[in-house]
Amino acid sequence: TQLLEQSPQFLSIQEGENLTVYCNSSSVFSSLQWYRQEPGEGPVLLVTVVTGGEVKKLKRLTFQFGDARKDSSLHITAAQPGDTGLYLCAGAQLNKFYFGSGTKLNVKP
Amino acid sequence: DADVTQTPRNRITKTGKRIMLECSQTKGHDRMYWYRQDPGLGLQLIYYSFDVKDINKGEISDGYSVSRQAQAKFSLSLESAIPNQTALYFCATSAGKRTGELFFGEGSRLTVL
């Protein structure tokens, strides 16, 4: 059983569309991170959110940490082919990081 | 050069063989981790180490062992490999802050026949 559940598992959209990826848990985390992974490479950090209710923006990406620090969302506005990749959320507990199962995003031109 | 280097990048072996995956880092971080990635399962923690004398089991440590030879080196061993250990393995480091980022190597793809 995964501590963090991500949805959807797969997402295939057209360039210009908006999308939201969800990361949910029944556990509380001290912080939550979002990573992006390209084929043949390790995950790379996009953002860390720490405070319940926190919202962070990174260009067209908006990240939100739930008020209770149990869940998070990633919203992409006007997706581009360069956004294609595997998106992973990771929650921190006692200096260990627990990962969700990932959302594989494909943005078609 | 990569900050976190894993060797080998690809390995095919047979059931029952002993395999070692090596990880070295130049980031100067105390904390090092080994993760396993399977399709649809994200990353699962195998072992982690917060300094040279500290080794801890993660979520899926059965069938694996580790050695922290130095601050910069953390190796993962499969004493007797089995086919369901076929996966992509990642080493990662962290500075140890509460909000610390994980820095990953490029991964080692292991196939056990």
**Best residue of A97, A98, A103 to probe chain B, by most B CBs closer than 10 Å:** A97
Distance from CA of B15 to the nearest CA of A (A): 25
- pLDDT, tens only, B74-104: 999 999 999 999 999 999 999 876 667 899 9
For chain A (length 109 residues), average pLDDT per consecutive 10?
87 97 95 93 93 95 96 97 96 88 95
CB contact under 8 A, B92 and A42: yes
Answer whether A96 sits within 8 Å of B48, measured CB to CB. Answer: yes
pLDDT attached to residue A107: 97
Peptide bond into A81 cis (omega under 30): no
The count of other CB atoms within 10 Å of the CB of residue B93 is 26
Residues 52-81, chain A, touching B (beta carbon < 8 A)? none
Q: Which two tokens stand for residue A65?
A: 């940490």
- pLDDT band (50, 70, 90) for residue B39: confident
Q: For residue A73, what are the β-bridge partners?
A: A22, A64
- Whether B21 and chain A come into contact, CB under 8 Å, resolves to no
Confidence class of residue B14 from pLDDT cuts 50, 70 and 90? very high
Question: What would the pLDDT profile of A27-54 be if each residue is shown by its tens digit?
Answer: 999 999 999 999 889 999 999 999 999 9
Q: Do A33 and B101 touch (CB under 8 A)?
A: yes
Interface contact A92-B99, CB threshold 8 A: yes
Burial of A84 (C-beta count, 10 Å sphere; 0-12/13-18/19+): middle
